[in-house]
Each structure stands twice: as C-alpha cells, then as structure tokens.
C-alpha cells in the first residue's frame, strides 16, 4: 500500500517536471527560431536573387480617404494603407508556423525597400494606439509590409474650364537609391483599392489608372517608379444652382427692358474678367446686360430727340398744341405746312426706328444668348470624361 502511494507520487512528480521541460523547450525553440531567422542578417544588403537580378517589390494601396483637393496650393490629401511585398531568401524557414506576424519594431531587423513618394509635400505615420503597421513573414521568404499613411501630394491643376473641369491627381512611388537593375517595382493586383466608405464632397472619382514609369536622372541613374492616377470630375450641381441659374435669370431679366416703356430708369452694371469657364459665362452675362442697357439708352436718346422736336414744333406753332401728329393741319400757310410736314415725318422716323430697334432686340438678344449656350456647353462639357 505504502509502496503504491510512493510510486504514484514519484510518477506524478515526473509528469509535472516533464511537462515543464517540454514548455521550456518549446519556448526556447521559438525564441531560438526568430533569433536564428533574423540573426546574422545584413539589413544593408538587398535580398540575393538569381543571376544577381533585381529584387521584385510589388506594391498596392487601399485608399481610405481622399480630401482637401486644394486649387490654391495645388495639392490634395489622402489616407492610405500602403502595402509592399517582396521575397527575401534569407528569411526562408522550413519548420514553423504558416506565417508570422511580427511587431513593427522588427522592421529594423530585416531589409526593406527604400520607397518614397516624389510628389509628397507632407506625410504622417499613425501611431495610435500602436504604430499602424503590419509585418508578415511566410515560410517561402515572402514579406508583406503595410503601413498607414496620410499624405499631402502635389497635383498640378488646369483650371481653364473651371467649374466644368476634370482634374488628374496622382500618387507616385519611386525607389530612392536602388536603380532599375537592382530593384523592380510592379503593381500588385488590384493596384488601387478604394474604400467603400470613401466620400469626395466636391468631386466624383471617374477613373483610376496604374502605370509603370522609370525616372532617368543625369547624375544618379535610372530609377524604378510607379504611378497611380485618379481622374476627378468636379460636381457641377453646386455651381449650377449658385451661379449659372441666377446669372441666366439676370440676363433674361435684362430683356424685359425691350418690352417696357422707353422712359423707364436703367439698372447698374459691373464687368468681370478672369478666363475660367465660369468667368466667361459671367462676363458674357454682364455683356448681355450691358448691351441690353446700351440699346435701351440709345432708344431713350432717340425718344428724347423726338421730344425736343415736339418742343420746336410747339414754339413754331403755338396754336397747335394738342395734336402734334396731325398731318392735315390747315391753320398755317402753305410754306409752313410743308416745313411742318417734313419735320413731322422726321419725328415719326425716329420713333419708328426706336420702336423697330426694340422689336429686333426682343428676338436678337435671346437668339444670341441661345447661340452662346449652344457653343459654350459643348466646348466645356467635352473637356470632361
């Protein structure tokens, strides 16, 4: 009985020790594993490849937000997950997990491509709550490295057809030090992912293009480069409501002057000049209003001339006050009647001319405005994609 108890105790102790030993061995094995994997790795030297060819780095990004498209600074802001992937044969392992997620600080212990954004003005890493980075190793030596970045990128904009414009803004990625024979940049499929929740307040994203480029510098050599471009159509609705419709109404309003009495008072005018699409529209609008008022002033001047002649007539012929248009005036002598007849005809001509001018304008102005629209809209709308 005692013996049995002793045996059981000894066996139990053995099991406990054995289990503890196994755990220690496992722990030290994974420690050893990472240590061995990363030890002796010269992070300064790029991954070796067949025939000393270039190391292939595939790149893609996920656009989280796209904002602050700024016409004054000619730039825009974007928040992206920037992902790079390459294979380093020095990181190949045979026994171990199917993939290892390493804390981002390990990035210093492996080789990484020296990519940068040539059109960057400002960039920011995100560190809350921990650095927003991902570093993943695969048994075949493939490394995936992803970082979250907020970039302010320059984007030269052509504003000639503003606000009916299409802007092309891009993200350029280039290797800073590795030339094309040392490092090859390729797009990973899909090259650009757009977040489902992406919102662009002023624009509509109409097209994304991915291109491979090479940059040749005279002093340093030829460097690999990739470029993703975004074609953005400006939302026109806002400008239609804010500017085009009100100014069109003003133009139409100015034509009312052709229908109203010649002696009414004129409105005021101002002129704008700035050769964007919207400015051409505004200038034409002002021009229309100006021409309409000019026409009105002319007609008004003619009617005043008419009034002046009436005054002459009154002084010449004090008896005939009530009926200045009466051609069959019998109260005067033959010579005077002839003279009066001549003056009356002249006066009628002025008035007729003014009236006709108004009549022509009633149709001419709207027609010219219509023609202007027929030319204006296709020209600027054709600039859009």
Ligand X SMILES: *[C@@H]1O[C@H](CO)[C@@H](O)[C@H](O)[C@H]1NC(C)=O
Torsion of CA 301, 305, 307, 312, to 10 degrees: 160
Stretch in the footprint of ligand X (CB under 6 A) among 138-146, 168-176, 361-369, 372-380: 138-146
Q: For residue 165, give the 3-state DSSP assignment.
A: coil
Stretch in the footprint of ligand X (CB under 6 A) among 165-173, 182-190, 198-206, 333-341: 182-190
**3-state SS string over 76-119?**
EEEEEEEEEEEECHHHCCCCCCCCEEECHHHHHHCCCCCEECCC
Name the minimum Å distance from CB 60 to ligand X. Answer: 7
Contacts of 84 (CB under 8 A, 6+ apart): 57, 58, 59, 112, 113, 115, 144, 145, 146
> What is the rounded CA–CA span in Å between residue 76 and residue 268?
40
Q: Which of 42, 51, 108, 189 contacts ligand X by CB under 6 A? A: 189
Nearer to ligand X, 137 or 157 (CB): 137
Q: Is there binding between residue 138 and ligand X (CB under 6 A)? A: yes
Q: For residue 204, give the 3-state DSSP assignment.
A: strand
Q: What residues between 249 and 308 interact with ligand X by CB under 6 A?
A: none
Q: What residues between 336 and 375 interact with ligand X by CB under 6 A?
A: none
Q: Which of 65, 142, 154, 317 contacts ligand X by CB under 6 A? A: 142
Name the minimum Å distance from CB 211 to ligand X. Answer: 8
Q: For residue 318, give the 3-state DSSP assignment.
A: coil
Q: Is there binding between residue 87 and ligand X (CB under 6 A)? A: yes
**Beta-ladder partners of 120:** 153
Nearer to ligand X, 24 or 207 (CB): 207
Name the minimum Å distance from CB 169 to ligand X. Answer: 16
Name the minimum Å distance from CB 81 to ligand X. Answer: 15
Q: Which helix (H) or strand (E) holds 24?
A: helix 2-38
Q: Is there binding between residue 50 and ligand X (CB under 6 A)? A: no
Contacts of 17 (CB under 8 A, 6+ apart): none
Size of the site for ligand X (CB under 6 A): 10
Name the minimum Å distance from CB 206 to ligand X. Answer: 12
Q: Is there binding between residue 140 and ligand X (CB under 6 A)? A: yes
Q: Is there binding between residue 187 and ligand X (CB under 6 A)? A: yes
Contacts of 218 (CB under 8 A, 6+ apart): none
Question: What x/- string results for residues 196 through 215 when contact with ligand X is judged by CB under 6 A?
Answer: -------------xx-----
Question: Scanning the structure block, which residue is given the tokens 């954004």?
Answer: 117
Nearer to ligand X, 142 or 243 (CB): 142
Question: What x/- string results for residues 106 through 125 when contact with ligand X is judged by CB under 6 A?
Answer: --------------------
Stretch in the footprint of ligand X (CB under 6 A) among 136-144, 256-264, 275-283, 358-366: 136-144
Nearer to ligand X, 13 or 211 (CB): 211
Q: State how far Cα 64 lies from the chain centre.
A: 16
Name the minimum Å distance from CB 98 to ligand X. Answer: 7
> What is the rounded CA–CA span in Å between residue 310 and residue 331?
17
Q: Which of 65, 67, 109, 191 contacts ligand X by CB under 6 A? A: 191
> What is the rounded CA–CA span in Å between residue 59 and residue 288?
55
Residue 274 gets which letter from DSSP?
Answer: -
Which residues lie near ligand X (CB under 6 A)? Answer: 87, 138, 140, 142, 187, 189-191, 209-210
């Amino acid at each position: 009985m005692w013996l049995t108890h002793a045996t059981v105790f000894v066996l139990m102790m053995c099991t406990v020790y054995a289990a503890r030993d196994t755990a220690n061995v496992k722990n030290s094995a994974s420690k050893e594993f990472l240590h061995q994997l990363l030890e002796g790795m010269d992070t300064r030297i790029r991954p070796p490849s067949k025939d000393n060819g270039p190391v292939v780095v595939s790149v893609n990004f996920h656009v989280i937000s796209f904002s602050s498209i700024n016409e004054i600074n000619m730039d825009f802001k974007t928040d992206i997950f920037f992902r790079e992937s390459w294979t380093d044969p020095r990181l190949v392992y045979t026994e171990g997990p199917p993939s290892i997620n390493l804390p981002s600080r390990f990035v210093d212990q492996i080789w990484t491509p020296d990519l940068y954004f040539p059109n960057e003005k400002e960039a920011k890493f995100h560190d809350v709550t921990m650095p927003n980075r991902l570093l993943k190793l695969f048994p075949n030596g493939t490394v995936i490295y992803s970082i979250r970045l907020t970039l302010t990128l320059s984007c030269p904009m052509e504003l000639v057809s503003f606000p009916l414009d299409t802007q092309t803004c891009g993200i350029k990625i280039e290797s800073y030090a590795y030339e094309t024979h040392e490092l090859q940049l390729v797009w990973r499929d899909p090259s650009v992912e757009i977040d489902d929740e992406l919102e662009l307040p002023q624009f509509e994203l109409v097209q994304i293009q991915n291109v491979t480029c090479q940059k040749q510098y005279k002093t340093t050599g030829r460097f690999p480069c990739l470029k993703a471009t975004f074609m953005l159509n400006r939302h026109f609705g806002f400008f239609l409501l804010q500017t085009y419709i009100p100014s069109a109404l003003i133009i139409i309003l100015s034509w009312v002057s052709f229908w109203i009495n010649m002696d009414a008072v004129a409105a005021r005018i101002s002129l704008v000049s700035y050769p964007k699409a919207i400015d051409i529209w505004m200038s034409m609008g002002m021009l229309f209003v100006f021409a309409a008022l000019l026409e009105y002033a002319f007609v008004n001047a003619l009617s005043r001339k008419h009034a002046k002649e009436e005054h002459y007539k009154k002084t010449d012929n004090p008896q005939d006050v009530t009926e200045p248009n009466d051609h069959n005036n019998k109260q005067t002598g033959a010579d005077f009647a002839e003279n009066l007849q001549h003056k009356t005809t002249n006066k009628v001509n002025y008035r007729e001319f003014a009236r006709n001018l108004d009549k022509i304008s009633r149709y001419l102005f709207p027609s010219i405005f219509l023609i202007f629209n027929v030319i204006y809209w296709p020209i600027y709308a054709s600039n859009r994609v």
